[in-house]
Amino acid sequence: MAAALASGALDVVQKELMTIALSVAVRCEPCLKLHLDKARSMGITPEEIEEAAWLGVAFGGCEAMMFWQEKSRERGTQDEE
């Protein structure tokens, strides 16, 4: 895992945003929590997180959208686009 998330052709910020998108797409709550916390600690902006999450929704469909909206409400934001 360390090698997969280390900087390479894609930098660590790009990879962290990708993990958020994938966590939403596959609706993995523990993964999403872990990667949201990590992204915030890395200084990734809420706007960047939001965009990545909605990319996950685009691939995961309506179930991923419902998952993301529920997790957004739990975080105290209304992320409905």
3-state secondary structure 18-80: HHHHHHHHCCCHHHHHHHHHHHHHCCCCHHHHHHHHHHHHHHHHHHHHHHHHHHHHHCCCCCC
Query: How close are the terminal C-alpha atoms of the chain, in Å?
Result: 32
pTM comes to 0.86
Amino acid sitting at position 32: L
Other CB atoms within a 10 A radius of the CB of residue 17 amount to 22
Give 13-69 pLDDT, tens digit per residue.
999 999 999 999 999 999 999 999 999 999 999 999 999 999 999 999 999 999 999
Distance CA 10, CA 32 (A): 20
Domain architecture of the chain: domains with CATH: 11-74 (1.20.1290.10)
